[in-house]
Amino acid sequence: MNYRQKLNMIILTLFIFTSVHAKENSIPKMEGAVTDTANILTATAKEKMSSYLNNVNEKTGIQVALLTVKSLNGEEIESFSMRVAENWKLGQKGKDNGVLMLLALNEHKVRIEVGYGLEGVLTDAYCGLIIRQVMIPYFRQDAYAKGLEQGLSAVVLKAAGQDIQENEDSLNPLITGTEEKDGLPLPVFAFLVIYFLIFIMGIASKFKPRSNPQGTFGSSASRTGYGGLGRSVFLGGLGGFDGSTGFGGSRHSSGGGFSGGGGSFGGGGASGSW
């Protein structure tokens, strides 16, 4: 075999390898707000997340989608996430307010991919905080649905102007795996307490005269840019995953009406592993 034949053989081998790799790691078809190709979610959990994200999309225009895959087949999660986000075109055209949450089961990796329009709100650092402090503690217990619910809630609340605590030093017990005796991560327990207090204040406010003719969604629009979404989600339970969706409307089906709106992505977000 001469030099030219060897070179042709190498080129052919590389072509076959890349073709097989591309086929194995193809972009899944978006099934709605939640696309669970890894089959880690129960039908109930998928329906609950889908209903919540559909309502977020309807009330705010923000499109947050979840994708789970069995394996990345050797591809970096950042690369695959970006390809999916660009293909699905999450978010509104011109506003670029889409978010993709991607979980790769075999690699134990997760990523939050943020559209251009939300990069100033969902910063790389903040997305990293959500992954490390909110989601990964559940993933380490194989509680994938709960971790994804908490992560999606934190993303939506941040986009709506509601912060979780950004001081990582105060969350160190969670980083080291320290938990309450009942197994509930400490920061999540703190979130529950805060949400309960806000829930009580929300009930109390119903007994006071309302001077704002715009109602709930108009009360905080000037501050968050998305109306009263933050308050609605809080009152709906932990980020709205209580079955009522936290928006007061009827529940939506898991798939209908959710598709990309032409949003763009530039690589903003964060990744993590467990």
Tell which residue, 69, 73, 76, has the closest CA to residue 18. 73
71-97 residue pLDDT tens: 999 999 999 999 999 999 999 888 999
Q: In this model, does residue 243 exceed pLDDT 70?
A: no
Gap between the Cα atoms of 247 and 232, Å rounded: 6
Lowest-confidence region among 106-120, 157-171, 229-243: 229-243
Q: At what angle do helices 43-60 and 144-159 cross, to 10 degrees?
A: 10
159-216 residue pLDDT tens: 877 555 544 433 333 333 333 334 445 555 555 565 566 656 665 555 554 444 333 3
Q: In this model, does residue 48 exceed pLDDT 70?
A: yes
Mean of per-residue pLDDT scores for the chain:
72
Q: In this model, does residue 35 exceed pLDDT 50?
A: yes
Provide the pLDDT for residue 60.
86
Structural domains in the chain, CATH included, are: 25-273 (3.10.310.50)
Gap between the Cα atoms of 53 and 258, Å rounded: 9
